[in-house]
Chain A
C-alpha cells in the first residue's frame, strides 16, 4: 500500500527505452503515479492537482541528464518542486518587537500545542537567552493548566500562576501585564485545542489575539493529519491569522503530506518540527527532509551530492582498477567502510536512499548499524598492514589477537573475513564480466546480500547514477 514513489516510477520507466527527452506519454504515466503517491502521503487533493499540473509542465520535453535514468529525472523534478513549495529556507521565529514579544499557539485538540509551547520556551531560553513566561489559556481540558505549569518547571522557565475561574481573554491580558511588569522577553500563550468550525471558540481565540497582539501566531498540526489539513489551516488562517506552522510527531512514520497542503493554502512557513516527547526535541524545518519523506524515498538529491562529494573521484578510479584487476584486499575493505561512515549515520543514510524499504528490513535482520561499521573498522585496524594485504595469513592465533585488540570476538573477526571473501569473489566475477562486456555493469546491483554485513549496492560507494529506481 505504501509503495514509495521511486518504486512506482521504477515500474513505469523500466519498460521505457532510454531517450534523450521525456515524452508526453512518459510524463503522463509518471504523473498518475505521482498523484497516487502524494495522496497516500496525505497531501490534500486540491493541492495534489495543482502540484501535478505544475510538475507536468516542467517535466514535459525535459532533457534527461545523461548520467541518470528517466525515472530519476522525474523524481528529481518532483523533489525540487516539492522543496520549492515547502519553502526553501529554514525560517526562525521573528522576535524583533518590543518585549514582551507575545507568541500565540493555536490548533486542533491533541495536536501538541502544550508540549510545543514548552519546547519553544526551552529553546528560547537556552539558545537565545530569553526570559520566557508561559501562560495556559486552556481552561477547558482537565488539568491542562497544570500540564503547562509542569512543563515550564521542566524547562526552567516561569509560568503564569493560575487563578481558578479566570477566562482565556482575561488570562491573556494578565499574562501580558505580568510580562511587561516583570521584564519578560517573550510571553507564550498556549490555548485550548479547538475545532475550526466551533464558532464560539474561534471567536474567543480571535479576542485573545486582539488583546495580546501576538507577534507570532503558530498553528500546531500533527504530522499524521489527513486531507482535512487544508481545511483547518485555511480556517485558522482566515479566522485568527497565522504566521507559521509547527508540524508535530514527525518521529512517527507518517508521511506528513499535510505540511505541503498547509503551506500551499496559507503561504505561511513551516517553522519547526516536533520530533519527540522530550522538551529538547524541537527541530528547525528543512524542506529537503520533508520532501523526501512525502515521496517516501528520502532525500535523493542530497544523497547523490553527498555520495559524490565523499567519494572522491580518484579514489573511485583506484577502486575500479583494483576491481578490474581482481586484487581487492582488506585495505580496500577498510577504505570502503570509512567511506560509508563518512557519509553519516548508516540509518540516516538508508533513509535517504530510494527503494530501501526492503533493504531496511534486511538490514534490521542483519543487525547492520553504524555501531557495526565501527566494530568492523576496529577489527580491520587491529590487523597489521601485512595481514590486511594478505588476508590468508590470518589464522586462529592471529584472530584471537585481533579480536582482543579490537574488543570484539573471534566470531566477529571471522565475519569480516567471510565478508571480505564474498566481496573478493564478486570482484573476480565482475572482472570476467568486465572483460566480456566493457565496464562493470552498474555494480550497484551485484553485491552480496546484506547478510554479509555490507549494505547491498554500497560496494563501490555509489557512482552517481549507478543506482536504479
Chain B
C-alpha cells in the first residue's frame, strides 16, 4: 500500500481547488490528485469529473472510468499511469475516425463544401487548407459562398491573396448556389485540382438555411454529378454538448464526410469529439490550432488524446 493515507475529504478539497482554477487543465488536475495512491471509488469519481470538465460528456466519461476501474481498481497508481491509461482509451476511440481528407487530383477539381454554425472557423480553415494545398503544388480555387454576412466576401478575398488562389465572388446578397456554380465552372476551365466553397454560418435548427445548403449541392451536381466530393463540417472546440446536435442535423441535411475541429489552441479541449466518434463514427480530418495559415494539422488520435490528458507530445 502507498505510504500516503489521505482521507477522502482532503482528496476532495484538493480536487476542488484544481477544478476551481481550470476546467480544462486535465492532466495538471490529475497530477495534483494522484502522486501515488490507491485507485479507489473516490479517486475514480474524481477522475470522471475531470473528464467531464473536458466536455467529454457524462456518459462517455463514465464509460472511460469504468474501463480504468476494471483494469486497475485497488492498485497503487501514479498520475502518469492514470494519464497514459486514459489517453490510450481515448486514442482507441478516436483512432478509427482520425483520417486525413484525401483529395483526388483526377477530379479536376475535387469539390469541397465547407459548412458549420456561425463563427466556427469555416473561412479561416479554408484559408489554411488552401495554403497547404498550394504548398503541395496543387491548383486551388476559392468560392465566396457566404453572401450573407457583412464583409464575408472581403474576408475570403484576403485569404485568396495570402495564398495566391483565385476567388469567385459576387456581391453580398447574391445567390450562394450561383457563386458555387460559377466557381466550379472556373475551376474546371482552369483544370485546377481543388475547389473550396465557403458558406455562410448557419444554425442547424434553421430549416430554411439548411435547405439553402442542399440547393448549393444540387446546383453543383448539374455540372458535376458527384459534386461536392467532400463536405467538411467545421466545429469549434469551445462547443459543449450541442456539438451532437450540430453533427446530427448537418449530417442529415447535407451529407457530412468529416469534421475540422478549430480553436484547439485554447483551454477548451473539444472533448465532445470523443463521444461524437463513439456515436457517429464520423471522420475527423483536421485540427485548427491558431489563426495563421500554418495553424492546421491533420487530426491525430494519439496527439489529441495525449494533449487532452496533458501528456507531452512524443518525438
A277 partner residues in chain B, CB cutoff 8 A? 118, 148-149
Which of A15-23, A38-46, A322-330, A426-434 lies on the face that meets chain B? A38-46
A39/B52 in contact, CB under 8 A? yes
* B118→A44 contact, CB < 8 A: no
Set B150, B157, B236: member contacting A154, Cβ < 8 A: B150
Interface assignment of A112: CB less than 8 Å from any CB of chain B: yes
Contacts of B204 in A (CB 8 A): 252-253
The stretch of B92-100, B180-188, B191-199, B266-274 that contacts the partner chain: B266-274
Query: Which residue of the partner chain, among A42, A141, A249, contacts B117 with CB atoms under 8 Å?
Result: A249
- A144 to B151 alpha-carbon distance, docked (Å): 7
A254 touches B242 (CB 8 A): yes
User: Which residues of A in the span 352-396 have a Cβ within 8 Å of any Cβ on B?
Assistant: none
Query: Which bracket fits the contact residues of B?
Result: 35 or more
Q: Which of A1, A108, A251 contacts B59 (CB 8 A)?
A: A1
A141–B10 alpha-carbon span in the complex (Å): 47
Interface set, chain A 232-258, CB cutoff 8 A to B? 232, 249, 251-255, 257-258
> Does A6 touch B at the CB level, under 8 Å?
no
Among A70-78, A223-231, A445-453, A459-467, the stretch in contact with B = A223-231
Nearest CB of chain A from residue B204's CB, rounded to whole Å: 7
Contact with A along B283-297 (1 / 0, CB 8 A): 000000001000000
Note all chain A residues with C-beta closer than 8 A to B120: 110
* A63 contacts B by Cβ under 8 Å: no
Question: Which applies to chain B's interface (DSSP): helix, strand, loop or mixed?
Answer: loop
Q: Are B121 and A1 in contact (CB under 8 A)?
A: no
Q: Which residues of chain A come closer than 8 Å to B242, judged between CB atoms?
A: 42, 224, 252-255
Judged by a CB distance under 8 angstroms, whether A142 is at the interface is yes
CA distance A99 to B118 in the complex (A): 34
With an 8 A cutoff between CB atoms, is A196 at the interface?
yes
Q: Give the contact stretch, choosing among A81-89, A145-153, A333-341, A405-413.
A: A145-153
**In whole Å, how far is A50's beta carbon from the nearest beta carbon of chain B?**
10
Q: Tally of A-B residue pairs with Cβ under 8 A?
A: 156
Taking CB atoms, residues of chain A closer than 8 Å to B152 are 143, 147
Query: A142: which B residues are within 8 A, CB to CB?
Result: 154-155, 158-159
Judge whether A147 and B240 touch: CB under 8 Å: no
Q: Is B54 an interface residue (CB 8 A)?
A: yes
Q: Is the CB of B49 within 8 A of A227?
A: no
Q: Report the nearest B residue to A140, measured CB to CB.
A: B291
A151 to B57, CA, bound (A): 38
CB distance from A156 to the nearest CB of B (A): 14
- The B-contacting residues of A in range 23-41, CB under 8 angstroms, are 36, 39-41
8 chain-A/chain-B pairs, Cβ below 8 angstroms: A109-B291, A143-B154, A196-B266, A222-B119, A224-B236, A226-B55, A227-B23, A227-B52
* B interface with A by C-beta (< 8 Å): 16, 19-20, 22-24, 49, 52-55, 57-59, 117-121, 148-152, 154-155, 157-159, 172, 203-206, 236, 238-245, 263, 265-268, 272, 291
List 11 additional A-B contacts (Cβ < 8 Å) besides A108-B266, A195-B267. A2-B241, A2-B244, A39-B58, A44-B23, A44-B53, A46-B20, A49-B16, A140-B291, A197-B267, A222-B119, A222-B239
